[in-house]
Every structure is written in structure tokens, then in C-alpha cells.
């Protein structure tokens, strides 16, 4: 971390000023983010961009009131002005304590190859390789769009409890969308690779396989039949359904919603909320996953936290302020989009643990149902747990075999009810990636689960 972003001595003086103005607790969040991206659409380079954003956000807490100010000026005088603005929520008064920071030391990125060291031409060559691979798939590929993005986010978090922590986060993402044209119209295949790692995770072979998978997905859907409607068993392929549990129960386990009684899971710790065998974990320590970081955006060290253990609700996800209010420790779930935003309780990598059954046996024991290989977007009402999710790749299960591909449809249900309807869990755990939106803020998250069966779910098909 460059000492030009925020040094311990400057941070200490600024935080002391917050206390001198009557603040009970204060925090500085400094961020230096650099990004680059490129996109290819119909074999034309549509975008080749880069950017950098630096700034500091300051929180001052007095009782239940939070004052917040941010500035792109990193000078000490500007930070003191921001402190004055944030501390306007406090009554004038002397400091109750003296700030003494304890630095965790310099943190280097874990990336083996920093994307910023790779020539733009090399990145463009990967886009063209993916485009070529998608178009080489037979069956009517009409359009291909490819995108690449990388970011390096260096942060410093300091607060009046003496914390001074840094992190250096590098992420890369590669996206392929292929469109096939046939008698049934246009069908889309979509694949993404996203890692909290460096350019070492990308190669021509990897992006070509990703593109072929997207193209084959689109071509297969050309022969898809309308999905059936009604209540049917659903078998979710490993990794693909993680986003469902992220939305259907993950958000409801975030402490800010819980303490406001706007979650269906409020006041239910110790109760059976899912089928026995269902264990849900939020884990920001998973190597390379999209929601991984060494610390959260409040400086709390990354950790793995079990939320549901063998069907029983054991805990919620906590940020610093919510945890402080209840007299417990943060779980490392305080996250923010940028220095211009206040942190809030957010998921990191949220997943269901693997079971002991084989995926093929779960399918074979399903007389009739739907096999969902990939989910699309969805939404949930956290107060009730009701959700709607789209499928982007699914197949009919008949007499224990996966048969015909189905057109996109919707899965409609209720989070707590779905958790109670899981009756089979396989041993083939895998992860997928997403971007989670909450109160206008976007953060990267990982989602995962093994292949599993839900005994009954409403399918909004067209047949």
C-alpha cells in the first residue's frame, strides 16, 4: 500500500480531531481503485477504457447517529474539513480518550500477475480468441459479445479503537455472450469467469472453452420445448443454484434487516429453519473467489461463519456498528461500494456445504421434474422470503433421466419453505459469481452449492 494514500500519523491526528469534536467513535476509509476494461461486439472493439479513483470516507458516531463525509482530496487539511462535516452530528466537547493506532503492516496483493502489467493488445487478443471459439460452434451462432475487466483496489481502514489495516485486492473478469438464431427465434448463452486473482487465471485455452460453452448453451436452447407449469421437483446443478440461496435466505440473514424486524429470520436463532443436512456458510477467506478479501471494508479480518448448521439457524451476518450495539464482534460483513458510500451488512462468499450423495443418483431417483443447470436473475422480499428466479439453462427430467432442453422459465417460491423442501444433497460442490445490489450499492459476491433436489417448487413455464 502506498503511504501516499493514508499514513498512520495523519490518520491518528484526523481521528483525534473527530473525538475532540465530541465524537464517540470514528473511522477513516481510504481507497485507491484503478480499473481497465475492453469489450468486443460482433468482432468490433466497442470499448477500451481505464480509470482511477482515489478518496477518503469518514464516519463519526454519536449514540445512534452517524455522520458521514467523503472527499477526493487526500491532504490532511481536506481530511480535517471532512471530519468537521461528519462530526457535525456531535455536541461540542473534549475527547474522552486518546487515539493510538496499531498498524497491521503492509499488505501485498496475492495476484501472481498484476493485470496492469499486461499490454492492452494481449487483452484484446483474448477477446478475439473467445469470439472465434464461439463462432466455430456449429448450429447458428449469429452474434458474439465478449468483455474483459480488471481492477486493483487498495484500501486503508483506521478507527479510534486503534485499528489501522490495509488490503490490496486484485480482480479479473471475463464474460462471453453468444446469440444463436433458429426457427424458435433468438436464444442466448452466457458464461463468466471472475476471480479475486491476477491475470494468471486467464489464457487462450481457458477463454476459448468459456466461449464454446456459451455458444453451445445458446445452440442447445434453439431446440428447447416450452417449460411445464405447476408444482414440480427441481434438481439444481452444483454451483448454479447458489444465487437462489443468496437471494432467498442470504439477505434475510443480514443483521441490519434482522435488527429492524424486516427479515423472515428475525428472532429465530436456535430454531430449525431448513431440512436437516442443510448447512449455510458465509466465508470471505475462500482463496480466489469473487467475494474474497483479507479484511472487510471496516478493517475486520476475513473469517468463515456458519449461519445455518444442519438445518438450525445459528447466527446472522454482522457489520461493526450492528455488532457493537449488541455487544458482540463483527463477523466481517461490513462492505461498501466505494469510499463515497457508508458500509452496510453484505454477504461475501455464501454457500451450502456438500452432502454425501452422488449427483447422478439424485437425478435417477427423480421420476419427473426439472434439472436447472444455470439460473438467471431474481429478486426476493426479505420480509416474507418470497422470491422469483429465472432459469437460463434447464432440462426436463423424465423417468430419472435428463432429456429435452427447456425454454427459459421462472421458479417461484418462498425461501424458508424451499430450505425445508431440500431432500437430497450431492457431493459435487462448486461456486459461481455474481454482483449483489443492495440499497443502490454493488459489490462482488460468490455463491455456491452442490447438486441438490427441492421436492416441490412452482414453475412458471409456458406449456
404-443 pLDDT, tens digit per residue, is 999 999 999 999 999 999 999 999 999 999 999 999 999 9
The packing angle between helices 204-221 and 120-135, to 10°, is 30
Residue 256 placed within a domain:
yes
Asked if the structure places residue 1 within a domain, the reply is no
Same domain, 273 and 381: yes
> Strand 102-103 relative to strand 163-182: parallel, antiparallel, unpaired?
parallel
pLDDT of residue 1: 37
Same-domain check for residues 243 and 188: no
The answer on 242 and 123 residing in a single domain is no
For 95, 256, 287, 411, the CA distances from 62, given in Å and listed in that order, are 12, 18, 37, 45
pLDDT confidence bin for 91, thresholds 50/70/90: confident
The three cell numbers of residue 204 are 487462450
DSSP-assigned letter for residue 318: -
pLDDT digits (tens, 9 = 90+) for 262-284: 999 999 999 999 999 999 999 99
Q: Which of 161, 188, 221 is the C-terminal boundary of a domain? A: 221
pLDDT band of residue 110 (cuts 50, 70, 90) is: confident
Same domain? 167 vs 104: yes
Is 2 a domain residue? no
pLDDT, residue 96, reads 64
187 plus 85 within the same structural domain: yes
Q: What tens digit of pLDDT does each residue of 330-389 get?
A: 999 999 999 999 999 999 999 999 999 999 999 999 999 999 999 988 888 888 989 999
Give the domain extent around 394: 230-460
Note whether 280 and 420 are same-domain residues: yes
pLDDT for the residue 92: 64
DSSP 51-120: EEEEEEEEEEEETTEEEEEEES--SHHHHHHHHHHHGGGSPS---SS----EE--------SS-GGGS-H
* Residue 458, pLDDT score: 95
pLDDT of residue 462: 64
The pLDDT confidence band at residue 104, using thresholds 50, 70 and 90, is: confident
Instruction: Among 221, 247, 267, identify where a domain stops.
Output: 221
Mean pLDDT score of the chain, rounded to an integer?
94
Question: Would residue 444 count as lying in a domain?
Answer: yes
Model confidence pLDDT, tens digit, residues 228-254: 999 999 999 999 888 888 988 999 999
Q: How many domains does the chain have?
A: 2
Establish if 3 belongs to a structural domain: no
Amino acid 2: pLDDT: 43
Answer yes or no: are the C-beta atoms of 72 and 3 closer than 8 Å. Answer: no
Same domain flag for 155 and 243: no
Instruction: Read off the CATH number of the domain in which 52 is found.
Output: 3.30.2290.10
3, pLDDT greater than 60: no
Closest to 20 (Cα-Cα) out of 100, 96, 101, 102: 96
pLDDT at 90: 78
Q: Is the pLDDT of residue 95 over 80?
A: no
Q: Are residues 67 and 103 in the same domain?
A: yes
Domain boundary among 221, 254, 287: 221
Q: What is the pLDDT of residue 70?
A: 98
Mean pLDDT score, 65-94: 91
In a domain, 316, yes or no: yes
Instruction: State the average pLDDT over residues 203-223.
Output: 97
Amino acid at each position: 500500500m502506498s503511504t501516499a494514500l493514508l499514513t498512520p500519523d495523519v490518520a491518528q491526528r484526523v481521528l483525534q480531531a473527530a473525538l475532540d469534536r465530541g465524537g464517540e467513535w470514528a473511522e477513516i476509509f481510504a481507497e485507491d481503485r484503478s480499473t481497465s476494461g475492453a469489450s468486443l461486439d460482433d468482432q468490433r472493439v466497442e470499448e477500451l477504457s481505464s480509470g482511477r479513483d482515489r478518496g477518503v470516507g469518514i464516519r463519526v458516531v454519536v449514540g445512534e447517529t452517524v455522520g458521514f463525509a467523503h472527499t477526493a482530496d487526500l491532504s490532511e487539511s481536506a481530511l480535517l474539513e471532512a471530519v468537521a462535516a461528519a462530526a457535525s452530528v456531535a455536541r461540542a466537547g473534549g475527547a474522552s480518550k486518546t487515539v493510538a493506532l496499531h498498524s497491521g503492516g503492509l499488505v501485498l496483493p496475492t495476484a501472481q500477475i498484476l493485470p496492469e502489467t499486461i499490454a492492452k493488445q494481449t487483452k484484446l487478443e483474448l477477446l478475439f480468441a473467445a469470439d472465434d471459439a464461439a463462432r466455430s460452434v456449429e448450429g447458428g451462432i449469429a452474434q458474439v459479445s465478449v468483455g474483459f475487466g480488471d481492477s486493483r483496489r487498495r484500501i486503508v481502514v483506521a478507527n479510534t479503537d486503534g485499528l489501522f489495516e490495509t488490503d490490496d485486492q486484485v480482480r479479473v473478469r471475463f464474460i462471453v455472450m453468444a446469440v444463436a438464431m433458429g426457427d424458435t427465434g433468438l436464444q442466448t448463452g452466457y458464461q463468466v469467469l471472475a476471480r479475486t486473482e491476477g491475470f494468471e487465471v486467464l489464457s487462450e485455452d481457458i477463454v476459448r472453452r468459456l466461449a464454446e460453452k456459451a455458444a453451445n448453451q445458446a445452440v442447445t436452447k434453439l431446440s428447447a420445448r416450452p417449460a411445464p407449469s405447476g408444482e414440480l421437483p427441481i434438481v439444481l446443478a452444483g454451483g448454479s443454484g447458489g444465487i437462489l440461496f443468496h437471494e432467498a435466505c442470504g439477505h434475510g440473514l443480514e443483521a441490519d434487516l434482522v435488527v429492524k424486524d424486516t427479515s423472515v429470520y428475525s428472532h429465530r436463532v436456535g430454531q430449525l429453519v431448513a431440512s436437516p443436512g442443510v448447512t449455510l456458510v458465509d466465508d470471505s477467506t475462500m482463496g480466489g473467489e469473487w467475494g474474497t478479501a483479507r479484511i472487510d471494508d471496516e478493517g475486520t479480518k476475513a473469517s468463515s461463519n456458519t449461519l445455518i448448521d444442519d438445518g438450525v439457524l445459528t447466527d446472522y451476518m454482522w457489520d461493526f456498528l450492528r455488532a457493537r450495539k449488541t455487544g458482540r464482534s463483527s463477523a466481517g460483513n461490513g462492505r461498501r461500494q466505494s469510499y463515497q458510500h457508508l458500509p452496510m451488512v453484505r454477504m461475501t462468499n455464501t454457500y451450502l456445504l456438500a452432502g454425501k450423495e452422488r449427483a447422478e443418483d439424485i437425478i435417477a431417483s427423480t421420476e419427473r421434474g426439472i434439472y436447472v443447470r444455470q439460473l438467471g436473475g431474481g429478486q426476493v422480499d426479505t420480509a416474507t422470503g418470497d422470491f422469483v428466479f429465472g432459469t437460463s439453462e434447464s432440462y426436463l427430467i423424465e423417468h430419472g433421466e435428463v432429456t429435452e432442453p427447456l425454454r427459459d422459465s421462472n421458479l417461484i417460491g418462498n425461501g424458508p419453505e424451499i430450505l425445508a423442501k431440500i431432500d437430497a444433497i450431492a457431493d459435487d460442490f462448486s461456486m459461481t459469481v455474481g454482483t449483489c445490489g443492495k440499497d443502490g450499492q454493488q459489490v462482488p459476491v460468490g455463491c455456491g452449492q452442490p447438486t441438490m433436489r427441492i421436492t416441490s417448487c412452482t414453475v412458471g413455464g409456458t406449456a
